[in-house]
């Protein structure tokens, strides 16, 4: 049975994404934080971890990027999950009874239109499914939570409002991390992180070898270098695998232009199904 760590309680979107990626034969390890997921993987307590990396509405999950830099794990896969948020409460509770809504900050941001409309007090919580579990255990009659239908079913709760996300095209991309290497797929992607030299044209010089090799860049993200104020680290996705001769040569040329380069993984790319 495959062992997978994820952040949150049972019913979290990360668990749902893992079920879609791995199938039903999984032994889950719920974790309080993203860092704990990485630690479980690096300490070999689980074979895999799953962490969100970006949302189509609210953007990148910066904690995940920072942890990828600091832990020696491989990205071995990705899963794109359609996120449908629901307002969930204890049975017998109706919307007029609600004065407070518990939700993860990402869920709050993704449901901002609905939340402004109902005008309730918003209380940030560490996890979507965890917020449902909390109001269930506390038997709160004046509170609701934002989470998935899956979470409502697990905790036997009532859905007061369905699909409350601000945009129907609400997707979250998850990375599958492991100490193992990935197996190639039909369409592959490579993720790298690098820092640039503090000279004019440095970023251009770094990207030039990839362009000359005909590699299609699908994402570039900058994060502050915490060791060097006002300098930045760049995360980049491109189509291809690291052991392809063309990719190898491009990365050699890229590394010569950087002050630091780390290949985070080559893995099968997921396809967005709308």
Half-sphere exposure in the Cβ direction for 59 (13 Å, CA): 5
156: phi then psi, degrees, rounded to nearest 5:
55, 55
Q: CA 68 to CA 94: how far, in whole Å?
A: 42
DSSP 102-128: EE-HHHHHHTHHHHHHHT-EEEE-S-H
Q: Which of 125, 174, 194, 234 is catalytic?
A: 174
Angle of helix 128-137 relative to helix 13-22, nearest 10 degrees, comes to: 120
Residue 234's DSSP bridge partners are 194, 222
**Sign of torsion over alpha carbons 16, 21, 25, 28:** negative
Q: Which of 64, 172, 191, 258 is catalytic?
A: 172
At 58, list the tokens.
């609210």
Residue pair 136/90 in contact by the 8 Å Cβ criterion: yes
Residue 174 is among the residues annotated as catalytic for this protein: yes
Residue 172 is among the residues annotated as catalytic for this protein: yes
Residue pair 174/255 in contact by the 8 Å Cβ criterion: no
* Enzyme catalytic residues: 172, 174
């Amino acid at each position: 049975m495959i062992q997978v760590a994820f952040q949150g309680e049972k019913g979290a979107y990360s668990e749902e994404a893992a079920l879609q990626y791995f199938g039903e034969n999984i032994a889950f390890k719920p974790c309080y934080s993203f860092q704990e997921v990485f630690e479980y993987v690096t300490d070999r307590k689980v074979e895999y971890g799953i962490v969100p990396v970006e949302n189509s509405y609210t953007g990148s999950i910066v904690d995940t990027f920072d942890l990828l830099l600091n832990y020696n794990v491989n990205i071995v896969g990705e899963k794109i999950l359609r996120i449908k948020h629901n307002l969930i409460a204890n049975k017998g509770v109706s919307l007029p009874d609600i004065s407070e809504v518990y939700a993860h900050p990402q869920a709050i941001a993704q449901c901002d239109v609905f939340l402004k409309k109902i005008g309730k007090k918003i209380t940030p919580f560490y996890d979507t499914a965890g917020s449902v579990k909390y109001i269930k255990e506390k038997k709160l009659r004046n509170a609701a939570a934002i989470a998935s239908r899956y979470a409502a079913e697990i905790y036997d709760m009532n859905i007061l409002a369905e699909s409350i996300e601000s945009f129907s095209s609400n997707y979250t991309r998850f990375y599958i991390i492991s100490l193992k290497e990935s197996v190639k797929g039909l369409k592959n992607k490579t993720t790298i992180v690098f820092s640039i030299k503090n000279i004019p044209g440095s970023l251009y010089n770094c990207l030039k070898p990839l362009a000359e090799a005909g590699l299609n860049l699908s994402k570039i993200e900058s994060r502050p270098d915490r060791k060097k104020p006002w300098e930045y680290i760049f995360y980049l996705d491109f189509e291809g695998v690291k052991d392809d001769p063309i990719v190898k040569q491009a990365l050699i040329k890229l590394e010569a232009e950087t002050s630091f380069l780390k290949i985070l993984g080559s893995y099968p790319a997921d396809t967005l199904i709308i």
